[in-house]
A = this chain, B = another copy of it.
Amino acid sequence: MSLSITKEIEDYIASLITESEAQTVSLRRKDLAEQFGCVPSQINYVLRSRFAPENGFLVESQRGGHGYIRVMRLTFKDCDDVVSHFSDAIGLSITEQEARRLLVNFQNRELITPKERLLVEVALRNQEDQGKTIYDISPYKRDIMRAELLTKMLTSLALG
């Protein structure tokens, strides 16, 4: 299967960060775009979709002459850090898709194991089935309940 340009750029930036002692890399938007044969704004798309705070990254930039884009990977000091990261990422309401995406993300970053993800998905699916089939809960409310269960499970995981 062919990789998207977005994925290639993502992997490239991620590898540069991993190689870096300070988990930081500085880029030139224009050069990077040229290197991958895409328009400059594609770089912004990659940053927005892959290196967002909920993915554990910070991005700084400056325009004009000597402009730059700096991407930093955040590290967690203790489990409370992880807990608040989870809470922030989940929020008060979350769709099925967003939840699955978050879990994939957390697993890729090794914040949770595949088995732990499996257990969470089973629990979410169970609640979803019941809410939809038995109790006839509105989609709006189901999103809220999903966020609550997800937060409970991931929080207990991080603290336990």
A residues at B contact (CB < 8 Å): 1-4, 6-7, 26, 28, 52-54, 56, 58, 60, 65-66, 68, 72, 74, 100, 104, 114-123, 125-127, 130, 135, 145, 148-149, 152-153, 156-157, 160
Contacts and interface: CB of A to CB of B under 8 A. Distances in A.
Nearest to A114: B74
Contacts of A117: 58
Of all A-B residue pairs in the complex, the 8 with the closest CB atoms, nearest first, are: A123-B123, A4-B66, A53-B121, A119-B119, A53-B122, A118-B160, A122-B156, A54-B122
A74 B127 contact: no
Contact of A53 (B1, B56, B65, B118): B118
A135 B136 CA distance: 11
Contact of A152 (B26, B100, B116, B122): B122
